[in-house]
Structure 1
Amino acid sequence: MKTRYPLILLLNLAGLALFLSWYMPANHGIWSSLDAEVFRFFNQKLVENRAFLWAVAITNNRAFDGCSLLAMGCLMLRFWLKETPAGRRHIVIMGLVMLLTAVVLNQLGQALIPVKRASPTLTFDNISRVSELLHIPTKDASRDSFPGDHGMMLLIFSAFMLRYFGKTAGITALIIFVVFAFPRVMIGAHWLTDIVVGSLTVVLIGLPWWLMTPLSDRVIYLFDHYLPGKNKQILNK
């Protein structure tokens, strides 16, 4: 991968501008109104539509997080099955590097972004909470929801799919992102801007320096070289 400094810097500037458009205005400007309107829209639907209530409850149950992992795994499996033994090893190592990248970026985002706020269900009064309406285990609140870690992980997955498997895989991964990230917004465990500002800011600023330079390829090479196992392949440094 040849380093593409102009595009990297452009993406960094886009991420910084996105964050400042939310962070700088008093009370977050128009973003605050959008957050409130989105939350109230879905919160009202919880009491108006029983099927929607159950759908939101199920998609925010901890067990449903396993479905997102299954969806990501199935997408990678599609490419893994077509590969040679050496290629399969490469995909597994790429997945490991992707996981480590997600953990590091998530920790950096949580540590470096000077924001801590509770979810809308812990902010507004006189609202409906799914856990109280149905009395089943579901994630409908967070004491520190910014940036959205779940959405960030799925965006990182999408970027890796685009980088290593092409546009179709990247678009499919983005669909997975929408399906599994936005139920958190519908239930009120996250503000809309936790994802479209918080998660996206971290990805736009941090990930280009990893995927649009030789760094990720070099780490994959090192893992392939030093990790035990058969079917090692020679990668370009």
Structure 2
Amino acid sequence: MNKDNRIQATWRWPALLGLNLLAAALLASWLLPATRALWDAADLWLFQSLNGSLNHYPLWDWFWALTSLRPSDALIGGLMLSLLLHTRWAFRTGELRPALFTFIALLVVLLVVRVVFSKLVTLLGWQHESPSMQVPGSFHLSGAFPELERLFELKDRSSRSFPGDHASVLLLWGLFMALFSRGWKLAVSLALVVLFMLPRLVAGAHWLVDVAVGGLFIALVSFAWGYCTPLAGHIARGLEWACQPLWAPLQRLPLINRLQVVSPQHTPQSGAPQSS
């Protein structure tokens, strides 16, 4: 991976410090009694507003039931990957592979951060159940759509809902894309993050804090230590080296060889602007 490309993970001390402080402040706002009451009130209000919209219109219920399934997560992942690898969205042709490998590297960092943070959450007793398991009168999509529940398992409940894993990945993607998207493309990228987090909130699988505190904390720390240090760069270069033998065979496959990320890549010019 060329060190001159603008996607390079490297030491960015102000961002590293700022992101970690923001993550710490966010977590502290939930833990401190003075502000915990505000989070609790927001949790209950949002859940009752979103979950309360169910059980009135069948098509509305079907929509949220379908978007709460694992196959929908796969479709969302495909869309996120498509935008990441779209040459008219955030990255130029020669930047596609560095962008792809850097984001995969950030996901590796996120996995480590998530495991460590989850153990800390359990140790300190911060874990809790989903709102659908705690709030009386909650509407359960799994009960309303038993066939979908039997085939795919609807994501509308969890005995360990903090932090939001699904949200942390979406938020990490949003942070990464926000660095390189501008104007309406930035707005669309961020709007998609919010939209894709909604099914878990509407179904009652997560409280607001699971997403806005737990998920965002993991995303911020992962991005800080992955992208604002050389860590993700080292992982990305290792992944790129390991995948070198795959490109030539992929370039001979019909349809696959039309993907820009598979085509021979041109090294970005040394004058490309650096991301800060």
Q: Which amino acid aligns with 1:216?
A: A
After TM superposition, the structure 1 stretch with the greater mean CA deviation from structure 2, 208-217 or 33-42, is 208-217
Residue of 105, 115, 118 corresponding to 2:113? 105
1:180 aligns with 2:196: yes
- Aligned twin of 2:240: 224
1:132/1:155 Cα in 2 relative to 1: closer, same or farther (>3 Å)?
same
Q: Which amino acid aligns with 2:93?
A: E
Contact 2:113 2:221 in 1 (8 A): no
Contact 1:158 1:171 in 2 (8 A): no
Residue 161 of structure 1 deviates from its aligned partner by: 2.7
- Aligned twin of 1:128: 139
Contact 1:68 1:176 in 2 (8 A): no
> Which sections of structure 2, spanning at least 5 residues, go unmatched?
1-8, 248-263, 271-276
Q: Which amino acid aligns with 2:216?
A: L
Contact 2:201 2:207 in 1 (8 A): yes
Residue of 176, 200, 203 corresponding to 1:160? 176
- Aligned twin of 2:255: none
1:67 aligns with 2:88: no
1:46/1:88 Cα in 2 relative to 1: closer, same or farther (>3 Å)?
closer
Q: Which amino acid aligns with 1:94?
A: T
After TM superposition, the structure 1 stretch with the greater mean CA deviation from structure 2, 173-182 or 192-201, is 173-182
* Structure 2 Cα separation of the partners of residues 214 and 98 of structure 1: 11
- Aligned twin of 1:116: 127
Residue 18 of structure 1 deviates from its aligned partner by: 1.3
After TM superposition, the structure 1 stretch with the greater mean CA deviation from structure 2, 107-116 or 184-193, is 107-116
Task: Report how many aligned residue pairs link the two structures.
Answer: 233
* Structure 2 Cα separation of the partners of residues 37 and 88 of structure 1: 42
- Aligned twin of 2:217: 201
Contact 1:98 1:157 in 2 (8 A): no
- Aligned twin of 2:57: 49
Q: Which amino acid aligns with 1:76?
A: L
Contact 2:16 2:224 in 1 (8 A): yes
* Structure 2 Cα separation of the partners of residues 42 and 88 of structure 1: 38
Contact 2:105 2:235 in 1 (8 A): yes
Which structure is richer in relative contact order (CA contacts within 8 A, separation 6 or more)? 2
- The 3-state SS of whatever aligns with 1:79 is coil
State, as a whole percentage, how many aligned pairs show the same letter. Answer: 28
- Aligned twin of 1:34: 42
RMSD (Å) for aligned C-alpha atoms: 2.8
- Aligned twin of 1:83: 93
Which has more helix, going by share of residues?
Answer: 1
Residue of 221, 226, 231 corresponding to 1:215? 231
* Structure 2 Cα separation of the partners of residues 92 and 19 of structure 1: 30
Residue of 6, 17, 32 corresponding to 1:24? 32
> Which sections of structure 1, spanning at least 5 residues, go unmatched?
none
- Aligned twin of 2:251: none
After TM superposition, the structure 1 stretch with the greater mean CA deviation from structure 2, 94-103 or 129-138, is 94-103
* Structure 1 Cα separation of the partners of residues 79 and 104 of structure 2: 17
